[in-house]
Structure 1
Amino acid sequence: MKIFSKEQIYAGDKLTAEKQQISSTDLMERAGTQIFNWMHMRMQGAQVPIHVFCGIGNNGGDGLVLARHLITHGYNVNTFIINCSDKRSKDFLINYDRIKNVTKKWPVLLSCAEDFPEINPDDIIVDAVFGIGLNRPVDEWVKNLFKHFRASKAFTLAIDIPSGLFPDKAIEDEDAVVWAGFTLSFASPKLVFFLPETAKYTVQWEVLDIGLDQEFLFTTETEVELIGKHEVLPNYIPREKFSHKGQFGHTLIIGGSYGKIGAVTLASRAALSAGAGLISAFVPKCGYTPLQASFPEAMVITDTNEEKITSISFDIEPTVIGLGIGVGTDTDTIKAFEAFLKTNKAPLVIDADGINILSKKKTLLKLLPEATVLTPHPKELERLIGTWKDDFDKLKKVKTFSKKHKLIIIIKGANTITVFEDKLYVNTTGNPGLSTAGSGDVLTGIITGLISQNYHPLTATIFGVYLHGKSADIAIEDFGYQSLIASHVIDYLGEAYLDLFKQPEQPPQQNPEDGNEQ
């Protein structure tokens, strides 16, 4: 799913009006009606007090359309105008007149704290105060109104975006934002719904189709894409009946040090479970017995050193190499790492201490093949690109870093983001159970195993992040968040693959004549 920018949404609205020969007022009517349909389907006429708070721009106009339809369908509605400026949009004024024609209970103008209405916990708040066009700080009395919303504990439904939340930059005051239980977003979700600092302002979201021009929606390139099953499924490469292991690549995992051989074991198992044809692990001597005993499918190559990697040498030709897992940052290891990079020609996936070594010696970045994948956790990312002020500053710095070095970088989180140059791919799978030791090693192995099968590194990264999260989503049904461990993610990887082809279950239908399920 594409995530459109603010500017693209405005352009889509304008193009739709021109091509469909409708006015902006008609498009607003369509949007407000869709919100009403969504609410009406769920409420079925329930007489819960609904408080619709409207700004004086187009978001407020959407709210007035909604309030008018709620009123004409017999709902218990209170409409309020947040009188925060002298500038009113044309479409707001048209709908302000329209709502006055269907009720004697005209909208109440609010302009200060003394005007705030009583809101009970069982009521419903509709937030139609500010939309995506907000470009200034929120007035103090409006901020107090938003705090009044939150203090009421009433369910809050935001239209398009929670008011006070900017779609393209960070906020400075969390009290100046509406905390929504649900947001109905037009055309696409907003990037801020998925960033750590701003996701909390809407618990859930849903996209409403307001009939924007289909050609615009399909042909417009966006900087951000939301990744789910429908986005990754077209990239899946099926296997032929007569295929054999030689067709799915030879993955090499280089890493480990005394006490950290488990990381290599996890990455190696994950690579093979993701579909690599062959798997070899290069480890210090101390890793030979643990790997051979715990993971018999792997072939093991060892360094001459017992406890750490001091020289990387092998006589195989790997398809792809996963590098850095549990390797440490000893001086001899860094020298071995540098010597290896100077001669390596294979695609790379670099994790953990491999990234820390790059951070210590940034001249090594020039030795990385184009489209090398880096999978840092937040602290490793900070060591690599420096500190950031907020999520948008972080995204900007990662994109700059990716473009400069032509690298694919993963920003791990509740919605892990894959970054390649100017493009962002926001993942939708995964859960808090992944906050456990070794889950990053598993992700590295999955991505490496996909590249081994001839997936392009970017496709492998996007697909791998999805499968990693989906496997965890399936596994928590048996283990819960707290008991999920990294090995479970590998164990359920096959089910994550199978889930790609599962059709959603249809609710049982009833025979209208006898009421029996069929």
Structure 2
Amino acid sequence: MKLFSKEQIYEGDKLTAERQKISSTDLMERAGMQIFNWMHMRMQGAQVPIHIFCGIGNNGGDGLVLARHLILDGYNVKTYVINCSDKRSKDFLINYDRIKNVTKDWPTLLSCTEDFPEIHQDDIIVDAVFGIGLNRPVDDWVKSLFMHFRNTKAFTLSIDIPSGLSTDKVPEDEDSVVWAGYTLSFASPKLVFFLPDTAKHTIQWEVLDIGLDQEFLFTTNTEVELIGKHEVLPIYKPREKFSHKGQFGHSLIIGGSYGKIGAVTLASRAALSAGSGLITAYVPKCGYIPLQASFPEAMVITDADEELITDIKYDITPTVIGLGIGAGVNTKTISAFEAFLKKNKTALVVDADGINMLSKKKALLKLLPAQTILTPHPKELERLIGAWEDDFDKLKKAKAFSKKHHCIIVIKGANTITVLGGKLYVNTTGNPGLSTAGSGDVLTGIITGLISQGYNPLEATVFGVYLHGRSADIAVEGYGYQSLIASHVIDYLGEAFIDLFKQPEQPIEQEEKQEQA
């Protein structure tokens, strides 16, 4: 799913009006009606008090359209206009006149000096104060109103975006933003719904189709894409009946040190479970018996040193190499790492101490093959790109780093983001159970195993991140967040693949209709 910028959404609104020969007021009517349909389907006429707070721009106009339709359908509605400016949009004024024609209970004008309305916990608040175009600090009294919303503990529904939240920056004051229970967003969700600094302002979100021009939606390129099942399914490469292991590549996992052989075992198992035809682990001598005993499917090559990797030499021709897992940052290991990079031409996935070694000696970045994949955890990312002020600054730095070094960066988190140049791919799978030792090693192995089969680096990363999260989502149903461990993610990887082709369950009512037919 494309995530449109606010500038693109404005352009989409304009093109839609021109191509469909409708006015902006008609488009606003369509948007407000879609919100009404969403609420009506869930409330079915329930007489819960609904408090609709409208700004004086187009977001407020959407709120007025909603209020009018709710009133006409007999709902218990109270409408308010946030009246702290003389500037009003044309479409707001048109809908302000329209609502006055359907009710004697005209919208209450709230000014800087008026008391806020009484709202009970069981009421509903609809936030239609500010939209995506907010470009100034929120007035103190409006900030107090937003805090009033929150203090009531009433369910809060935001239209398009929680008011006070910008699409492209982190708010300086969290109290100046509405904390929504649900946001109904037009055209596409907003990037801020998926970033740690800003996602807390809406618990859930949903996209409403307001009939924007289809050509615009299909042909407009966006800087951000949201990755779910529908986006990764076309990436999947099916296997032919007469295929054999030699067609699916040979993954080499280089890493491990005394006490950290488990990391290599996890990455190797994940690579093979992701579909790599062959897997070889290159480890210090101390890793030979643990790997051969616990993972018989793997081949093992050992370094001359008992406890560290000191000299990377092998007589195989790998398709892809996963590098750095559990390797440590001993000076001997760094020297071996540098010597290896100077002669290597094979595709790389670099994780953990491999990234730490690059951070310690940044000249090595020039030796990475194009589209090398880096999979740092937050602290490793900071060592790589430098400290950041907030999530948008982090993304800016990551994009600049990716462009400069021609690499792919995986920013791990609740919504892991893959960065390639100026493009972001936001993942939708995964859960807090992944906050456990070894889950990053498993991700490295999955991506490595996908590249081994012929997926290009970007496909392997986007698909691998999705599968990693989806496997954890399936596994957590049986283990819970606290008891999920990295091995479980590997164990359920097969079900994550199978899940790609499962049809969503139908509602009971729909099943009954089909049986009757």
Same fold (TM over 0.5): yes
Shift of 1:231: 0.0
One-letter amino acid of the counterpart of residue 4, structure 1:
F
2:307 aligned with 1:307:
yes
Residues 113 and 144 of structure 1 are in contact (CA less than 8 Å); yes or no, is this contact kept in structure 2?
A: no
- Using the alignment, how far apart are the partners of 1:512 and 1:248 within structure 2? 44
Residues 252 and 322 of structure 1 are in contact (CA less than 8 Å); yes or no, is this contact kept in structure 2?
A: yes
Shift of 1:517: 7.6
- Using the alignment, how far apart are the partners of 1:512 and 1:426 within structure 2? 37
SS of 2:508's partner is coil
Report matched runs for 1:116-127 at 5 Å: 116-127=116-127
Shift of 1:241: 0.2
The residue that corresponds to 1:216 in the other structure is 216
Residues 183, 516 of structure 1: CA spacing in aligned structure 2 closer, same or farther, 3 A cutoff? Answer: same
Report matched runs for 1:46-61 at 5 Å: 46-61=46-61
The residue that corresponds to 2:20 in the other structure is 20
The residue that corresponds to 2:193 in the other structure is 193
Q: What do the CA deviations read for 1:351-410 (whole angstroms, capped 9, x no partner)?
A: 000000000000000000000000000000000000000000000000000000000000
Q: What do the CA deviations read for 1:433-467 (whole angstroms, capped 9, x no partner)?
A: 00000000000000000000010000000000000
SS of 1:254's partner is strand
The residue that corresponds to 2:112 in the other structure is 112
Q: What do the CA deviations read for 1:474-517 (whole angstroms, capped 9, x no partner)?
A: 0001100000000000000000000000001112347999x998
- Using the alignment, how far apart are the partners of 1:278 and 1:386 within structure 2? 37
2:506 aligned with 1:506:
yes
Residues 82 and 109 of structure 2 are in contact (CA less than 8 Å); yes or no, is this contact kept in structure 1?
A: yes
- Using the alignment, how far apart are the partners of 2:411 and 2:342 within structure 1? 27
Shift of 1:115: 2.3
The residue that corresponds to 2:234 in the other structure is 234
- Using the alignment, how far apart are the partners of 1:361 and 1:241 within structure 2? 47
Residues 84 and 112 of structure 2 are in contact (CA less than 8 Å); yes or no, is this contact kept in structure 1?
A: no
- Using the alignment, how far apart are the partners of 1:132 and 1:346 within structure 2? 45
The residue that corresponds to 2:395 in the other structure is 395
- Using the alignment, how far apart are the partners of 1:516 and 1:261 within structure 2? 55
Residues 264 and 325 of structure 2 are in contact (CA less than 8 Å); yes or no, is this contact kept in structure 1?
A: yes
The residue that corresponds to 1:134 in the other structure is 134
- Using the alignment, how far apart are the partners of 2:261 and 2:397 within structure 1? 33
One-letter amino acid of the counterpart of residue 457, structure 2:
P
Shift of 1:170: 1.2
Q: What do the CA deviations read for 1:294-316 (whole angstroms, capped 9, x no partner)?
A: 00000000000000000000000
One-letter amino acid of the counterpart of residue 125, structure 2:
I
Q: What do the CA deviations read for 1:70-112 (whole angstroms, capped 9, x no partner)?
A: 0000000000000121110000000000000000000000012
- Using the alignment, how far apart are the partners of 1:287 and 1:113 within structure 2? 72
Shift of 1:68: 0.3
Report matched runs for 1:32-181 at 5 Å: 32-112=32-112, 114-181=114-181
The residue that corresponds to 1:455 in the other structure is 455
- Using the alignment, how far apart are the partners of 2:131 and 2:311 within structure 1? 58
- Using the alignment, how far apart are the partners of 1:517 and 1:150 within structure 2? 47
The residue that corresponds to 2:446 in the other structure is 446
One-letter amino acid of the counterpart of residue 138, structure 2:
V
SS of 1:252's partner is strand
The residue that corresponds to 1:474 in the other structure is 474
2:425 aligned with 1:425:
yes
The residue that corresponds to 2:256 in the other structure is 256
One-letter amino acid of the counterpart of residue 449, structure 1:
G
Shift of 1:212: 0.1
- Using the alignment, how far apart are the partners of 1:110 and 1:508 within structure 2? 45
> Which blocks of at least 5 consecutive residues in structure 2 are unaligned?
none
Residues 113 and 145 of structure 1 are in contact (CA less than 8 Å); yes or no, is this contact kept in structure 2?
A: no
Q: With the length of structure 2 as denominator, give the TM-score of the two structures.
A: 0.99
Percent sequence identity is 83
